Structure 1
């Protein structure tokens, strides 16, 4: 199949990411993307291998954007400030790009994951947490704690889980960050 002029894999992935933000990552399909860019679905297959390829490429794009935002946010900071900056970058990204936020957690095969920004994000998380002086395996537990806490809070907030009670989500967010900082500051990072 001959590729359509002006239609590139990068342009399709960007259009797919925008579409995911509008309709949700779960609804990102080659057919929906084809409608978005004004071509028939078979035209996409000159550029993408199918739905799995499209989703993986949008996931890689999202991981790259999120890693860049978190890295920029944490630059020059340490301790609770760095922790709050990285967590806040995730929260801000999820608010601005809900479909891409979901995509950033899409399972990737080993080779794609290794070539993505995922390892840089993990290194950033470890660097932020290094200031707490955690030895292994506590350092790994702390990375997982931070990731799970941020993901859980942001996911519940996006679903409206905190919208009908007081205190508001902003106050709870600060409380959660303080609680993480206190937990990680204790000797050995143990609660």
Structure 2
């Protein structure tokens, strides 16, 4: 019988909080069981194993980052949406590094995998950030890939402490977002 109060969702949430603290690479069922005050075998009533837990954390993270971007960009368009969405993404990566890493490490397990609609929602949130630029259809996928690469690259480099030059990192982020805005406006249909 599963422990009262533990569900797949609560185990996933606890796992997500744990990886944000210790890093995604350090996740173990034993550490999570200790955190929850249960024996490790008790977790297997809620998740099939560590891979299943990591996958569930990835799905959770994708939903959370989508919601963060949606909330930040709602009612905005063009540069305003780009700036708000970029900052929301950067904030999510900084505040939830383990979840973000889980989302990037996840692979689709099949056509019914909940990761698929979660990933599609993330792509839709990035597309919404770009919608106000009215890009030609043939340019949209390239713009989405550029935006994802820029946000991912900056976020992961910042997390790793790789920006060590004596210049404010916030200024660099603003400069990059402005540069992307100028480039996107140059592509407008």
Q: 2:117 aligns with which of 94, 115, 118?
A: 115
Q: 1:102 and 1:96 mapped to 2: Cα distance?
A: 12
Name the counterpart of 2:166.
166
1:4-54: CA deviations, max 9, x gaps? 222211111111011001100111121211111111111111111001110
1:76 CA drift (Å): 0.9
Residues 64-103 of structure 1 aligned to structure 2 (within 5 Å): 64-103=63-102
**1:138–1:188 contact (8 Å) kept in structure 2:** no
CA drift of 1:188 comes to 5.5
Q: State the match for 2:133 in structure 1.
A: 132
Runs of 4+ in structure 1 over 4 Å off: none
- Whether the 8 Å CA contact 2:12–2:53 is kept in 1: the answer is yes
- Partners of 1:159 and 1:136 in 2: how far apart? 35
2:94 is paired with a residue whose SS is: helix
Indicate the larger mover: 97-106 or 72-81: 97-106
In structure 1, the gaps of 5 or more residues are: none
Structure 1 residue 48 and structure 2 residue 47: aligned? yes
| Offset, 1:112 | 2.5
In 2, the alpha carbon distance for the partners of 1:127 and 1:71 equals: 8
How far apart are the structure 2 equivalents of 1:173 and 1:52?
34
CA RMSD in angstroms comes to 1.5
Q: Give the whole-Å Cα distance in 1 for the aligned partners of 2:76 and 2:26.
A: 38
